[in-house]
């Protein structure tokens, strides 16, 4: 993938952006998505479609008493092509650029030691923040990495529209493979604010004309930058305000060959070595051996490691959380020599937060399509429970989105009650409100098992819509079995209850015939912060006949104090 980005960096252009007017308080973050498709006259070893995503952070900095300097850093950057995903660390170096009064980029600054291979890539990110804040129709001469062009601006409140026209390549660009550049399409829109912009998006098609026909090259790009709603931690926020105080870029650690990684991985497959490190430290060691991890299942002989060492290894693999480690854990799940091994693999998969890799997705999909791949009903139940948790932790990833759709489709088609219950559980554990309407269909199902699964799922989703479903189930509790009512009341503990609903739960704590239902109602009341909670719990003490329930009341009263 590094070759991909090197070859395509020239077409990930500076597509212009806003004149910075923010103060030191202006430190926005943007979610960037870029889809680039290329076509060459000759058959190319480079992929013809690449998708890049990243979180971009900006902050004002100082340099030689000049105004207009801004630092920029990309985090969480991934590249995806032909089903493969990779990270290009060249894009993740912090750097700075200077904009003039017209919002045009005039200078770049790179910390000492920034790789030369990274500089063009970093500049291409900066040019997303170049444009003139023109509130009238005009044509301006501008430039970017490739050359000069005419920029046509139109103001259509609250959006500024921009089109490029008539590119003239820089001498350095023309002196390489290309002699001319034609603009096939150019449409850009910016919604400016006092702190850069809230949204920038656009499409651009470029035809690079080579010195020979075989070198002709077409690029079409679609991009979008959206201001992030929540600020994510970034190393940029800790960098000094003065560029002169920035540290030099340290040289990357030497990358081991595959054979070296394999040899080192084999050396780690020793019980004493694995137990000598905590899971976090072991995960750091395994990250350096990522390419060799795919061989791990074949390298571990039966009985070679103790149970404790296997637990430590699986825990570390879950923390590594790369495409390879995810796939390896799925292989242990599918081919584990014992149910314990399969359970450990599931637990490890539930610990990650990184995007789900393609290999892991297809392995998960194969389990969904063929229930016989897992040993028994208990393992299948654990699989779906864990799958939902994985989706809750891995949001916004293409493969996670596919699994949301796969689960919803599977539930729609499922006829077996056990399978339906497992799928409802998975959707509930995903904590995604989009599934509430589908789960609602099972709220009043003839099967108490599916009613109970629905109640638990609504509690996992924990949205206002799910809260309404639980209120509806509570209102018809006289038609339901005790385990269902208990599940409804337990799920309500995930919400701050309205007074009327809290009084309903109190009625169960006081009057329910089943000790287990009263117990759960007591626990739910104890988790609320309503003014009447203390008095309600105290009223229950004299009449509660169950010792366990009595202790639960006392514990709830004590906890609130």
pLDDT, position 45? 38
Query: Which residues on neighbouring strands pair with residue 205, listed in sequence order?
Result: 185, 220
Nearest to 109 by CA among 13, 245, 17: 245
Tokens of 256: 């081991």
**How high is the pLDDT of residue 471?**
96
Taking each continuous run of H as one helix and of E as one strand, the counts in the chain are 22, 12
What is the predicted pLDDT for the residue at 40? 63
What's the rounded Cα separation, in Å, for the pair 54 and 35? 12
**Rounded (5°) CA angle 75-81-84:** 85
* Residues near 193 by beta carbon (within 8 Å), at least 6 away in sequence: none
Residue 180 is encoded by which pair of tokens?
Answer: 């001319």
DSSP sequence for 456-495: HHHHHH--HHHHHHHHHHHHTGGGS-HHHHHHHHHHHTTS
The whole-number pLDDT of residue 83 equals: 66
Query: Which secondary structure element, helix H or strand E, spans residue 178, and what is its range?
Result: strand 178-192
Give me the pLDDT at residue 84, please. 65
Strand partners, 150: 141, 165
pLDDT reported for residue 23 = 59
**Separation of alpha carbons 428 and 386, rounded Å:** 11
Structural Rg of the chain based on CA atoms: 29
Q: Give this prediction's pTM.
A: 0.56
Fill in the DSSP letter of residue 160.
E
Q: Point out which residues pair with 35 in neighbouring strands.
A: 51, 222
Question: Exposed, middle or buried by CB within 10 Å (0-12, 13-18, 19+), for 437?
Answer: exposed
List, in order of start, the domains of the chain with CATH numbers.
29-245 (2.30.230.10)
Question: Tens digit of pLDDT per residue, the chain (561 long)?
Answer: 333 333 333 333 323 333 334 457 899 999 999 998 887 654 443 446 789 999 999 999 999 889 999 999 999 998 887 666 777 888 999 999 999 989 999 999 999 999 888 898 999 999 999 999 888 889 999 999 888 999 999 999 999 999 998 888 776 544 445 677 889 999 999 999 999 999 999 999 998 876 556 557 788 999 999 999 888 889 999 899 999 999 998 776 667 888 999 999 999 898 888 888 777 778 888 988 999 999 998 888 777 888 888 888 998 999 899 999 999 998 988 887 777 888 888 888 887 888 888 888 998 998 898 877 787 888 888 889 989 988 988 887 889 999 999 999 999 999 999 999 999 999 999 999 999 999 999 999 999 999 999 999 999 999 999 999 999 999 999 889 999 999 999 999 999 999 999 999 999 999 999 999 999 999 999 888 888 888 888 999 999 999 999 999 998 888 655
From the list 253, 249, 13, 272, the residue with the least C-alpha distance to 144 is 13
CA distance 201 to 222: 8
């Amino acid at each position: 993938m590094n070759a991909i980005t090197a070859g395509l960096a020239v077409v990930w252009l500076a597509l212009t952006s806003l004149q910075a007017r923010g103060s030191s308080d202006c430190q926005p973050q943007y979610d960037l998505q870029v889809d680039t498709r290329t076509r060459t006259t000759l058959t190319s070893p480079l992929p013809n479609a690449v998708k890049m995503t990243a979180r971009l952070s900006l902050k004002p900095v100082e340099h030689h008493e000049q105004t207009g300097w801004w630092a920029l850093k990309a985090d969480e950057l991934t590249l995806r092509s032909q089903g493969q995903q990779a990270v290009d660390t060249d894009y993740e170096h912090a750097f700075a650029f200077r904009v003039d009064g017209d919002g045009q980029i005039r200078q770049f600054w790179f910390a000492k030691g920034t790789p030369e291979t990274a500089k063009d890539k970093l500049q291409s990110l900066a040019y997303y923040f170049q444009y003139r804040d023109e509130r009238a129709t005009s044509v301006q001469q501008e430039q970017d990495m490739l050359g000069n062009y005419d920029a046509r601006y139109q103001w259509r409140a609250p959006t500024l529209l921009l089109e490029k026209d008539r590119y003239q390549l820089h001498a350095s660009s023309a002196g390489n493979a290309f002699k001319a550049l034609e603009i096939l399409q150019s449409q850009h829109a910016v919604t400016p604010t006092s702190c850069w912009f809230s949204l920038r998006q656009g499409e651009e098609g470029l035809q690079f004309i080579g010195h020979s026909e075989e070198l002709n090259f077409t690029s079409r790009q679609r991009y979008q930058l959206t201001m992030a709603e929540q600020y994510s931690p970034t190393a940029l926020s800790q960098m000094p305000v003065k560029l002169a105080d920035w540290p030099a870029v340290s040289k990357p650690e030497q990358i081991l060959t595959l054979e070296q990684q394999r040899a080192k991985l084999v050396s780690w497959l020793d019980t004493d070595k694995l137990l000598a490190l905590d899971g976090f430290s072991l995960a750091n060691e395994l990250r350096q051996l990522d390419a060799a991890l795919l061989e791990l299942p074949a390298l571990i002989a039966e009985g070679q490691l103790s149970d404790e060492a296997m637990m430590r290894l699986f825990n570390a693999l879950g923390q590594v959380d790369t495409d390879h480690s995810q796939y390896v854990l799925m292989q242990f799940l599918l081919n584990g020599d014992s149910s314990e091994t399969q359970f450990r693999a599931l637990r490890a998969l539930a610990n990650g937060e990184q995007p789900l890799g393609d290999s892991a997705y297809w392995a998960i999909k194969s389990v969904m399509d063929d229930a016989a791949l897992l040993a028994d009903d208990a393992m299948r139940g654990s699989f779906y429970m864990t799958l939902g948790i994985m989706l809750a932790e891995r949001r916004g990833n293409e493969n996670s989105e596919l699994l949301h759709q796969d689960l919803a489709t599977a539930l729609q088609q499922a006829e077996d009650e056990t399978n339906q219950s497992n799928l409802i559980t998975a959707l509930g554990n995903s904590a995604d409100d989009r599934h509430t309407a589908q789960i609602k269909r099972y709220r009043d199902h003839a099967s108490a098992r599916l009613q109970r699964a629905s109640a638990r799922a609504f509690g996992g989703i924990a949205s206002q819509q799910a809260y309404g479903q639980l209120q509806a189930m509570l209102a018809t509790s006289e038609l339901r079995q005790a385990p269902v009512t208990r599940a409804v009341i337990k799920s309500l503990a995930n919400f701050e209850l309205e007074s009327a609903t809290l009084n309903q739960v109190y009625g169960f704590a006081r009057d329910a015939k089943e000790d287990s239902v009263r117990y759960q109602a007591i626990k739910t009341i104890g988790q609320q912060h309503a003014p009447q909670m203390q008095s309600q719990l105290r009223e229950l003490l004299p009449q509660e006949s169950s010792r366990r329930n009595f202790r639960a009341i006392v514990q709830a009263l004590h906890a609130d104090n």
